[in-house]
Structure formats: C-alpha cells, structure tokens
Structure 1
Amino acid sequence: MTIRRLAPLVASLLGVGAAHCNSNPPPESQTPSTAQPQPPAEPIATAPTPAPSASTMPSASDTPASSATSPEIVTRFAHDSNLFGFDLYQRVRTQKGNIAVSSASITTALTMTWAGAKGDTADQMRKVLHLEGTPQEVLQSAGKLSSALQEPARPIKFRIANRLFGEKTFKFESPFLESTKAAFGAPLEGVDFIKAPEPARVRINTWVEEQTEKRIKDLIPAGVIKTDARLVLVNAIYFLGDWNTPFDKERTKPAAFQLSATSKKDVPTMRREDRLRFVQQDGLKALEIGYKGGQMSMLFVLPDKVDGVEALEKSLDNGKIADLVSALQPQTVNVTLPRFEINPTASLALGERLQEMGMPLAFDRRKADFTGIANPPSPQDRLYISDVFHKAFVKVDEKGTEAAAATAVVMMRATAMPMPEKVAQFHADHPFLFFIRDNATGMILFNGRVSDPSAK
C-alpha cells in the first residue's frame, strides 16, 4: 500500500503584467476578489482542535488583524524571502535563455507548508527558507506584509491569492487550517483526488488562470495528480503597474541586441531620456524605473561586458542588491531598453533543487513529518511533498503611467554659468537582469534574466 502523498504538496506560481501589457486588459469587474474567498466546493473532514500546547499551530486568534503593525514585522518576511530567493536562483540560473521567477510566490507556498511541518522536517525547511521567529511570528509577518502589498490605495494592481485544495474525504488538522486561513487568506476547497484526479487538476489550474488574468496556464502538468494525492497548496500573484513616465511608443525602433560576443539581432527597443536613479560601479550599471505611486519599482542590472551576465548572476545576493539600491542617485540618463516578454510553456519543477538546498526530509515519503497538517493513525496515510511547480510571466513595454510635472523656482545670484550635467548612458543592448521590488520593504517580487528579448 503506498504512502498517501501531497502530490504535489506545493504548487507555487505567479502571473505578472506590466504597464498595460495587454492591448485589451480584462475589465476591473472581472478581477476576482480575494477578500472573501469562496467556500469549499465540497464539504471536507477536519480533525478536531486539540487542547493548546507548545506544538499547537497558531489559530486565527493568534494573529489578530487589528494588532499594531511595526515596520520590523512587515519587513521580516520580505528579508527572509529575498535570502531564500537568491539561494534558489543560483540553482535555477543554469537554465539557458530567458528566466522569470517569483521568490515571493514560492516562499509563500512553502511557508504555508512549513506551518504544518514538525521536528527535523520543520527545522530543515526553516533553514532553507531562512525563516526567523516562532511560527506565530512568521505567519504574522507574512500576513501583515501581504496586506501591505495589496493596499487598495496603491495605484498599481497587485493581488496575492492562496488556496488549499484537499481530498474531500481526508481529515486535516483544524489548527493548521485556521492558521493558514488567518495569515494567508487560504481557504480549503474539497476536491476528489481519489476518484477524479484529472478533473481535480483541471480545477486547480482553472483557479490559477482566474487569479492571474489567464497569464498562468497549465501550472500543474498532466499526469502529476494521481489518486493518492491529498493536498495541493497554491499561491498566485498578479501584478500590473504603470511606469511613472511612459516610454514614447513612436520612439521605439529596431536596434541591435548582442545575444553573445559573436551573435546579435534587431529587436524593438524603447528610448527615453529622463532623470532616474542610476549608478555605475564594479563593472555594471544599475537603473531604477518607478511605477506610478512610487511604492514599487523595477531595477535593471546590466554588466559592462556583453558576455558578463553569468558572472554577474554568480556574484549577486540580497546584500549586494541592497547596496546597489542604496548607491542609486538621481541623474539624467539616456535609456534604451528592449521590450520583452517571458512566457514559458512549461512549469519549473523545483523538488530536486529544494532537496539539494537542504530540505530532503520534506520529500521523503518515509520520514517526512507533516502531522501538523494531517495526523492519520496509519503511517501509510501520512503526507510528504512529491514536487513543487512554479511558473512566471513577465512582460515589459512602453505603456503605463500617469504623467506628472514638478516645478522648482530657485533664485540664485548672478554668477558663472554652471557646467551642464553629464548625461549617463544605460543601453540594455546585451543580456541583463531585472528585479521588481517593493520599495518600502525591499521585497523582491519577481526577478529574472533577459538573454533574448525576442524569445518568449
């Protein structure tokens, strides 16, 4: 008799759009709401809540929505996510071509899973995810950060949606369900993995499409969900932001992009000269372009050498990105930037990479301890992670943004004419990296590499 699986236990994904990338974006009225999740499609069994103990997971009352939010609480989970994200990217970057990932999405899905892990399984996951604090503190930090990022007053569209899809006849621990719902807004939806695994997979993928404006399709590949699957935890992120100042579409012209030292092709290239935050140092240039409202921005990092992106990827970590951002200074910059879209057909399977990073127990069907999620009497029914799937979409173009003007009248005494400010040059005409960041917390929401702007 096979051990019952969470197969896959975690399905992590993201959908991103930038600056009205669709010529016909979905109307606001079609945007699914995550404030009031739909009830489970099927009734589902849950284990009774045990008496409180040191090992009991936090319930909704442990993370009150009305508690005061300190900057430290909000930024703690962002910092942990970034550390994990750079560790994971070192494993992912060996893949050729364009890459897009969301460590924010992957961290969220895995943290929900960690909330039900115990013993050495939990310790390994905590170390790989760089989580600090008690489970209550971690979940509170994640929940507060999620709320801050989705603040309705922001002029960008940013949505985080989480859901648990569980076998409708399987008993899950009530404290786990309560804590994930309280912190992540993740309701449990009952599905029939035992008798109808393929319709269950289709249902999950359909939910993902709905949450990402149909940008992420077929997250879970055919054949992955089998009759012994018991739970799939899903995170979806969708972002749509307008540049503070748009690129003039009429100035977009074909220009050469160096694919390598010996190969190049013409790609549609946007042009703009503006006062932006920029720095040139240590064999690279970094440029920040802000989104409307100023809360989020995109950081472009361009190596001086045409073939320098691999060495750049090896050298970057969370601390170096933070140092780069601190070094940025307002300057007039002449920018050329290719339009690009990263839209992979296949999901990334991250299971092997996560095991290599130091959490093999979670994937071990004999030793994994997820009894905080479900604690069936038979060891043959206990849960483990079979795989983790991730897919990201990123598209950058000219459109977006509200135009704004500022006037400063500075009266000076008549003296010698000042030397005109030198115009910096940021010409992204060879492979580069990008990072979509929340400016207040420093959280990296999406990042990746553009090796060929013409390739999707």
Structure 2
Amino acid sequence: MNRREMLALSGALAAATIAGCTGDGQSSAETETETTTTATATTDAPTETPNDEPPTGEPSVDDERLAALAAGNAEFALDLHKQVASEQGGNQFLSPYSISVALAMTYAGARGKTREQMEATLRYTLGEDVHPAFADLRAALEERETARAPIDGGEADAFRLAVANALWGREGFAFSDAFLDSLESNYGAGLRRADFAGEPDGERERINEWVADQTEGRIEDLLPAGSVTPDTALVLTNAIYFMAQWAHTFDSEDTEDGTFTALDGSESTVPLMRQELKANYADFPSAQAVELPYVGRDVSMVLLLPDEGEFESFEQSLTASRLFGVFEEMRERIGDVVLPRFEFETEVQLSEALSDLGMPAAFGPDADFGGMTEGDGSGLAIDEVFHKSFVSVDEEGTEAAAATGVVVESSLPPSWGELRFDRPFLFCIRDRPTDAILFYGRVVDAGAAQGDE
C-alpha cells in the first residue's frame, strides 16, 4: 500500500493539526519539480488592516528552557536557509531540527574557540543546558509519534512522527566516557563501533542503511562514496520522518491544472489543489499566512505567501521574532486555499555554509574537540556535514524526511607549505629519548656533496 492509499483509507477516522514551519499547536538544491509551496487565500469576511510593520513574537511554550531552544533554533533555521538559498538557488527544503541535533551532539565535545563559534552560529544560548533541553524536546516529540483517532481514541494510521540519533565510532578509539554518557542520556545515541580503518566503505553503507530504515527509505545514500575513510574517527547521525494527513483533505476532483509563475518570471503548468476551509489566517505587510492542520492538532504546516514581486525582500527580512509574530497573529477565518502539489529532494554539504555563518574553526586544523576523547582531542576536526531531505505534498497530506551526518576525522597537523632546501643548511642526527646529539653538520655546496659520482 502506498502513502496516498494509506492516508486515504485512514482519513475517515481523523479530524485535525508539523510544519514546513513547525507550529505551536494553536487550534483554529536540487529539485524534481519546479513548483514551490505557495498558496492563495481569499477570506469571506474582511480581516484586520495590516500595520506598517510586520508583527513580532516569541515562542509560546511555557517551559523556559524549551522556549530558549525554540527561539535559537528558529534563528539558526532562517540563517541557514538564507545562506543555502543564496548559494544554490532553486527550491530548498531543510530540517533545521535534524541539523541542529546532529551538531549539538558534536558540540558536546567541542572546547575553546571551536565551542564558542559553534555556540554563536547554531544559536545555542543555554550553555551545557542545551543538551537536556534537546532531551526534553525529544521526549515531547516522542509523545507525538502517533496521533489519536477522534472516534475511538486509538492510534490513527494517518499520522507518524519519528526521530532517531546514532553515534558511530572507530574501533579502538578512546572516546571520553563523559562525552558518550551525555549523548546516550540526552540524545539516545549509544556508541556503535565501526571498522573505519579496515572497511570504510562497508561502514558507510551500514550507516546509510540505518538512515534509510529510519526514514522509510526516503533518504538513501546520505553519505556519498569517499565520505568515510580510514581517517574517520566518528560519524554522528540524526534522522527524522513525518507522514500525516490533512485535517481537511483536498478533493482530488477539485484539482485542476493551472499556471505557476516562478521566481525568474517563467511560467509552468502544474496541478493546483483547491478547497474552502476554516483555518488560522493572517494578513500583514508584504505577505499573507495560512496554517493547515494535520491529524492530531499538535502539528501544522504554516504557508507564507509574499506579495507579488516581494518574495526575495520578504525572505531576506524574515527573522525568528517575525516568524513567531506570524504564528501569534493568525486567527480563525474562512477562505479558499489554492496550493500546488509538489515533491522534491534537497541534498547539500554544509561545511561552507556553516563556515560562512561563523564556525570555520570546527572544520580546520586548529579545531578543538578535546571533550570527545580521553586525551587532549587534538587532531580531530569536522570533515563535512551531509544533509539530505525529501518532501511530498498532495491532496491527502504530507510526507517529509531528512537526515544529517557529521563526519569527524583525525585531521592532519597544520601545513607549513613547501620547505625547499636549495641553499646552505645545517642538520643534526639526535637520539630523541635522551636528546643526545649524535652527529652535526652543514651543507653549503650540495653540488660538491654528491659522493663519488
């Protein structure tokens, strides 16, 4: 049974609210297509006249630690989205949650300047409390792994949300017990030993199989060929999978071909879904927003439609506080939503984007991950951060998946470039344990020092 059949069959049991943006539970790249998630909404009754300035807000969750985590993650999400979009263009779909969790596990072993840069770039404002905060968030998400059907209170087949973390460490490598304990207790990421030295490609395939299994086969080959080598010390992975039916499904008989105008002004014919519904809606300067709930009412998709010709300026000016302001501003209204069906994947390597955002030290020869090891941690650095995601939206609902892999390698020491002995030089031969100078000499004419040639 495919996803659409599964959602359609279980739809009769369900009523009502995750998100391209994750909602707060209020009740009422490379692409395979060139369509994007835009919608038109028209209301039957006038809405409030927009103010000159966009609304601002903050996370509504009562827990202070979770609120700080949500605010920081939203800031990082928008920072990273803008950076990747500027680098790659086209349709983009990332999981800031997946990326932030994988890097938080890495951050647990960072020290010094490396830690400071990661903290600022990833918008971690809680210090060491960021790890128990992620544990609290993981526990909250686990409570929503399934939704309850409104008729009999049983699990609704039309909703699934699952997250998983794993740590893959080189056989024989001396990881710090404190580091491993933190990842196990806060992220559920127990250590899995891997023969990176002897079978690097086989271990890469093993990690990819784990990712595929956690994402129902939607994310395959997260780690490309050559990404795991005998120098790999550690791979930290996160996977997230989501599938849910709309609270109010679109009638496929109302779907008609229509024109979508792309960012560059080109036009294409795409299937446009349509329905009239009661939903949270807001009209504010330069954009409109509508929230489409999924089964269970804890998760929703928030769609933002900038005014015509304003997409790029609105995208660049959107901040976390303004995004939360949108969530707060929305009120229940009745209107029509016209939304294209779409499905695409994004695959990106994030080392350049993350370095540009402010954490280059983690990728360089001076990286300090001393908290990961029993020794001083010198020689460890992030080689690459791999991220891959998938999204599909149709009349029945949404399927989304993403995975992140942080590959940590035993880095080479700093390079001095080329040291060219093509002029007079001194040399000695020493006994290292005793520092005894056994021989000492100089070469001032290499041409006269060619033996008996």
TM-score by length of 2: 0.70
- Listed one character per residue, the Cα deviations across residues 396-452 of structure 1 (whole Å, up to 9, x for unaligned) are 111159xxxxxxxxxxxxxxxxxxxxxxxxxxxxxxxxxx9xxxxxxxx99xxxxxx
Structure 1 residue aligned with 2:362: 362
Q: Which of 179, 182, 185 does residue 185 from structure 2 map onto? A: 182
The corresponding residue for 2:327 is: 325
Paired letter, 2:355: Q
**Structure 2 counterparts to residues 277-288 of structure 1, below 5 A:** 277-288=280-291
CA distance in 2 between partners of 1:299 and 1:183 (Å) = 29
- Indicate how the Cα distance of structure 1 residues 123 and 81 shifts in structure 2: closer, same or farther if over 3 A, else same: same
Q: Using the TM superposition, name which of 125-134 and 101-110 deviates more.
A: 125-134
What is residue 108 of structure 1 aligned with on the other side? 101
Change (3 A) 1:275 1:385: same
For residue 90 of structure 1, give the secondary structure of its aligned residue in structure 2. Answer: helix
Give unpaired runs (5+ residues) of structure 1.
Answer: 1-19, 26-68, 402-435, 437-444, 447-456
SS in 2 for 1:183: helix
Shift of 1:187: 1.0
Deviation at 1:206, TM superposition (A): 0.7
Aligned to 1:124: 117
Partner AA of 2:281 in structure 1: F
Contact 1:245 1:400 (8 Å CA) reproduced: no
2:367 partner amino acid? A
The one-letter code matched in structure 2 to 1:266 is T
Q: How does 1:110-259 map to 2 (within 5 A)?
A: 110-135=103-128, 137-151=129-143, 152=145, 154-155=147-148, 156-259=159-262
Report deviation, 1:111: 0.6
1:187-229 Cα deviation digits (max 9, x unpaired): 1111111011110111111110000001011111111111100
Q: Distance in 2 between matches of 1:398 and 1:378?
A: 51
Q: Give the direction of change, closer, same or farther, for the CA distance of 1:311–1:220 in structure 2 (3 Å limit).
A: same
- Could you tell me how far apart the structure 1 residues matched to 2:386 and 2:282 are? 36
Name the structure 2 match of 1:372: 371
Q: Which has the higher contact order (CA 8 A, sep 6+)?
A: 1
SS at match of 2:239: strand
CA contact (8 A) 1:109 1:234 kept: yes
Indicate the residue corresponding to 1:397 in structure 2.
394
Structure 1 runs of 4+ aligned residues shifted over 6 Å read: none
User: How many residue pairs end up in the alignment?
Assistant: 336
Q: 3-state DSSP class of the match of 1:116? A: coil
Return the TM-score normalized by structure 1: 0.70
Which is worse superposed, 153-162 or 273-282?
A: 153-162
User: In the TM superposition, what is the alpha-carbon distance from 1:134 to its structure 2 partner?
Assistant: 3.3
Letter of the 2:164 partner, please give it.
A
When residues 261 and 107 of structure 1 are mapped into structure 2, their CA distance, relative to the original with a 3 A threshold, is closer
Pair 1:388 & 2:390 matched: no
- Secondary structure of the corresponding residue to residue 217 of structure 1: coil
Write the letter of the residue equivalent to 1:368.
A
CA 1:372–1:158 in structure 2 vs 1: closer, same or farther (change >3 Å)?
Answer: same
3-state DSSP of counterpart to 2:89: coil
**Counterparts in 2 of 1:222 and 1:329: CA distance versus 1, 3 Å:** same
What RMSD over aligned residues (CA atoms) do the two structures have, in Å? Answer: 2.3
Q: Is the 8 A contact 1:168 1:191 kept in 2?
A: yes
**Out of 304, 311, 314, which is 2:313 matched to?**
311
Instruction: Confirm or deny that 1:81 pairs with 2:84.
Output: no
Q: Is the 8 A contact 1:171 1:374 kept in 2?
A: yes
The CA distance in 1 between the partners of 2:342 and 2:265, in whole Å, is 21
CA distance 1:262–1:72, shift in 2 (3 Å) = closer
- 1:262 Cα deviation after fit: 4.2
